[in-house]
Structure 1
């Protein structure tokens, strides 16, 4: 009997010690595509979170607790994302999510996350259901900003008035595809062809050929990853020496390969952190340079785009915790809605009860690879 009591006491002591340790950290879960089509961007997202966590923890953490990141690879697949989210909620007991750019995965898991009343900060667009949007916050610029920046360049700087849209099946690209046709009309452009592809397609020559036959002078691509390089190579192989390829927000690794194929006929949308020389003096430049100093010290000349938004997202979470004076889900959700306007490394963020997409001013310039360097195309 005494042995049983001793074993029980030891077990209770171990449980108490574990519980006490758990209370000393603030667990932030992140579902990211460390493999699959989103890997380049989501690896940078994870690394930006880690740098932000280190910076916040060096100053004492949030409300006296150190941030502990819990990362699950969703392999860029919705089903894997659901499994990872459930694990982080049940096994790891995360208190908030700060997840990567796989929109479909974030959508698939949103229902169970909301039922647990856990806020979600996302690299992706918001889930579609209003009850899920209530608990989700996005640091991705609205898709229309990407489209408007590209169309404005065509309208102001070229004589191209007919474009083709090339998109993948992700929710983000599908949303941009629909917006692209509408916004074109408003800006005096004509979408003459809309073509789709899968992320692992090794050739999109047929789609490009149909757009060219329809009279498109530029391809407005909606989707990230290596498919952009495939598109650039196919344009060159088809001998379309006047066609312009305009890419979505993506990583330098992708931009460099496509730019080396098409030269200055390859254009892309870029935030200030990707082309910092284009940022005017002021608070935006100071915030970007502060982040870039930390990023470059750890990652050298690696692309800072996704890392900067991840850094900003965790800084916003830390600011919400200080505002709420609580780490409980509902209190954090309410605090995120009522944060004051905040200048981040990537952009200015303005959340409100009605506005859960934090970037409300277009942060994009049109970039180009020139003499081996990424610069704003003026």
Structure 2
């Protein structure tokens, strides 16, 4: 009996020791993503970009010897569901950092208690609105003004259109961009003659587009992502508006291709270089794109790489922050992220500092179009 008791105790000790070592060897990253709902196309790409980056980093030993494990929770593109997922990942999964998708409202809703847990937030979306929450958050989204400026510059320099309409959804990101669109229009000699809103799941926007046309708008500057862009393209064609342009926000290439097939070269979109890889010249940007595509293309040869590239870049910045910090503790990573030197990634160049938590400080965007079955630069 005594020997049996000793054997049982020894076995339990081995399991306890093994479990402890296993926990120490894993770095858990939580990700709140909209795998269903309006953000699904972009957030699925974000999830998959995190996964291929984790694979690449784990091949090199992970983060200070700890293997990266990405834990995702579907927020269904709804802020209330994001809160539930965030709380679960903190309490049950014991994640060490968040790297979440593009549902801004969901990230906003969770930011206060993520801050209280002293966990860094790397975000596909814009930063939370409160300054004390921004201290813990880092955005890998290009400032909204860059998307507006790129489209406005194209209209000014490449077309004779001076009257435009804004078509936007009610998300925090879109509302912010709409405000910037209003502010920047005069700088480019443009007049906003109509502003129309829509819901992400609207099946028809002919009324809104008709109003823009009636007001004299020669182009629709659409603010918002997902299938609604394809709907808008179809509606423009259905209304017989043969001269109207549709300029879309940055989005997944599958959306661009579908809308381009409807409107041809009257559909234009904002694109980072990785979305137009054939256009890249040799240099650091091309090297970063190639490093990412080495992992991405074998797994997803037919999928657009843009939003996944941004997720990949966020993980590479994380790896550099951990290296600087020589630690995987939350506050140490937060502090070190501010000290990461300018990083040229597959999507853009990122420059974080103690005063700059929006990493993209130089406009990376090109204007693209759909031609001959592929996405190319619009001349």
- TM-score, shorter chain, exceeding 0.5: yes
- Corresponding position of 1:274: 275
CA–CA distance in structure 2, aligned partners of residues 62 and 134 of structure 1: 23
Unaligned runs of 5+ in 1: none
Tell me if 1:165 matches 2:166.
yes
1:271-350 alignment, distance < 5 Å:
271-350=272-351
CA–CA distance in structure 2, aligned partners of residues 15 and 120 of structure 1: 31
Partner secondary structure for residue 30 of structure 1: strand
Partner secondary structure for residue 289 of structure 1: helix
CA–CA distance in structure 2, aligned partners of residues 214 and 4 of structure 1: 86
Partner secondary structure for residue 275 of structure 2: coil
1:9, CA displacement in angstroms? 8.0
- Corresponding position of 2:193: 192
1:271, CA displacement in angstroms? 0.4
Give the aligned CA root-mean-square deviation in angstroms: 1.7
Structure 1 217/60 Cα, relative in aligned 2: closer, same or farther at 3 Å? same
CA–CA distance in structure 2, aligned partners of residues 142 and 346 of structure 1: 14
Structure 1 217/336 Cα, relative in aligned 2: closer, same or farther at 3 Å? same
1:203-218 alignment, distance < 5 Å:
203-218=204-219
Q: Count residues with an aligned counterpart.
A: 378
Which has the higher mean CA deviation after the structures are superposed, 40-49 or 285-294? Answer: 285-294
CA–CA distance in structure 2, aligned partners of residues 170 and 6 of structure 1: 60
Contact map agreement 2:56 2:295 (CA 8 A) in 1: no
1:71-90 alignment, distance < 5 Å:
71-90=72-91
Partner secondary structure for residue 369 of structure 1: strand
Contact map agreement 1:273 1:292 (CA 8 A) in 2: no
After superposition, what is the alpha-carbon deviation per residue over 1:177-223, rounded to whole angstroms, capped at 9, x for unaligned?
Answer: 00001100121111111110000111111111111111110000000
CA–CA distance in structure 2, aligned partners of residues 111 and 4 of structure 1: 49
CA–CA distance in structure 2, aligned partners of residues 12 and 101 of structure 1: 44
1:50, CA displacement in angstroms? 0.6
- Corresponding position of 2:238: 237
CA–CA distance in structure 1, aligned partners of residues 327 and 290 of structure 2: 31
1:20, CA displacement in angstroms? 2.5
Structure 1 217/4 Cα, relative in aligned 2: closer, same or farther at 3 Å? farther
Partner secondary structure for residue 53 of structure 2: helix
Partner secondary structure for residue 98 of structure 2: strand
CA–CA distance in structure 1, aligned partners of residues 6 and 213 of structure 2: 80
- Corresponding position of 1:221: 222
CA–CA distance in structure 1, aligned partners of residues 330 and 374 of structure 2: 44
Unaligned runs of 5+ in 2: none
